[in-house]
Amino acid sequence: MKKLELITKANGNMPRTDEEKKQMISQAAEYYGQFLEALGFDWKADPHSDRTPHRVAKAWVNDLIAGSINPAPEVTAFPNDEGYTGLICQTRIPVMSMCAHHNLTFSGVAHVAYIPGKEKDDLVVGLSKLNRIVDFYSRRPNIQESLTKQIHDHIDKLCVGNRGVAIVVESQHNCVKCRGIKQDSVMKTSQMSGYFWTNEIGTRQEFFHLIDQSRTGL
């Protein structure tokens, strides 16, 4: 069986072939079965759990770490032909990620905004592409601070000529809810640049106002 090159924090993403994904599921299922046995569970004797190692391995490969083993989404950027100079904001984009410390999920929403450049050759992106970027970086072991910055930096690079990018992520962490203190709480992180950082023309307040509005409907 081919030994796969390991994904590191430095590269973060290493696309795998379908055959490699099948290998990952097979190996991970075997090791997860050993993990359950190390904890004292006779999972093979229980009809409710005799397929659990395979289910867990499949969930990891197909969903939980999809952003680490699939190519980055193809995102087409378009010239700002209309010369739009206002704020573009999308709120409450779903986030489902996994804490890199405990491998427990955290989930919530991301709010994304940017201000395109004034020139016609400055770039804007399709609205749904912002969702794809958020999902791509969410679907991997991560910490929320890094996730927030990764989303910001990708959009900042993609929207050539932009005058500012702002990201806010709000999420609940099962590593807090299910272990240790065992309490519900919401973690909020932000990353801002350009007009959002300097708060020029009240841009930051406008962004926060749009987030507040999204919590009570359109």
pLDDT 10s per residue in the chain (218 long)? 677 888 887 668 899 999 999 999 999 999 999 999 999 999 999 999 999 999 999 999 999 999 999 999 999 899 999 899 999 999 999 999 999 999 999 999 999 999 999 888 899 998 899 999 999 999 999 999 999 999 999 999 999 999 999 999 999 999 999 999 999 999 999 999 999 999 888 999 999 999 999 987 65
Does residue 10 sit within a domain? no
The answer to whether the CB of 128 falls within 8 A of the CB of 166 is no
**Model pLDDT, residue 218:** 58
Does residue 181 sit within a domain? yes
Domain identity same for 137 and 199 = yes
Number of domains in the chain: 2
List, in sequence order, every residue forming a beta bridge with 124; answer none if it has no partner.
78
Does residue 132 sit within a domain? yes
Can you read off the two tokens belonging to residue 215? 């919590």
Domain identity same for 89 and 24 = no
What is the arrangement of strands in the sheet containing 105-115, beginning at the earlier edge strand?
A: 141-142, 88-99, 105-115, 164-173, 187-192
Does residue 13 sit within a domain? no
Does residue 6 sit within a domain? no
Can you read off the two tokens belonging to residue 203? 């841009």
Domain identity same for 58 and 84 = no
List the CATH number of the domain containing 175: 3.30.1130.10
Enclosing domain of residue 54: 18-64
Q: What is the pTM of this model?
A: 0.94
Does residue 173 sit within a domain? yes
**Model pLDDT, residue 127:** 85
CA distances, 92 to each of 4, 109, 179, 206 (Å) = 36, 5, 27, 16
**Model pLDDT, residue 217:** 64
